[in-house]
Amino acid sequence: MHKRSAFTLVEVMVAVVIVSVVIAALLQMQGNTTHKFFAIKEMMKTNQYSSFLLSTSDKYSFESSKIDMKRLVDEFELENDLRRRLKSMKVEIDYEELTTIDTSELDESSDPDETSNSTLVLEIGKTSLKTSEFTTQLIRVKLQ
């Protein structure tokens, strides 16, 4: 009887196919991870720009205006390269009033001519921050 000491051609081909499928799956996972990483990076940048709008004083909060990002971030301590990149970015801020709630209308006092000292007016609006790269929207509440 002759003893077999090597792999057959079919066994080698099956091993190569299995290794190829595993490598293709790993490459696909790497591509998906890279795509997700860049999407998260862009979301973080958008959130950073939105936080500039939220953190500035109320001068841009409840009005529509067109400014450059440099004016929006004047109050922040930023790295020079980030400040340089933001210098040329133009921003359009649009404010849209969604609803106004006057709490004096909800007062159930017996005398309609009597005014309460604790009346409060809530203005709910949507602020859109638009650039050439992204658009983000914030819901704003203004107390009067």
pLDDT at 65: 72
Q: What is the pLDDT of residues 8-38, one digit of tens each?
A: 889 999 999 999 999 999 999 998 888 899 8
Sheet containing 90-102: order of strands:
65-68, 90-102, 121-130, 135-143
The pLDDT of 110-116, averaged and rounded, is 54
Whole-model pTM over 0.85: no
The pLDDT of 133-139, averaged and rounded, is 80
H/E element, 46: helix 9-55
- Residue 110 in this model has a pLDDT that exceeds 60: no
> Given the DSSP bridges, would you call strands 121-130 and 65-68 parallel, antiparallel or unpaired?
unpaired
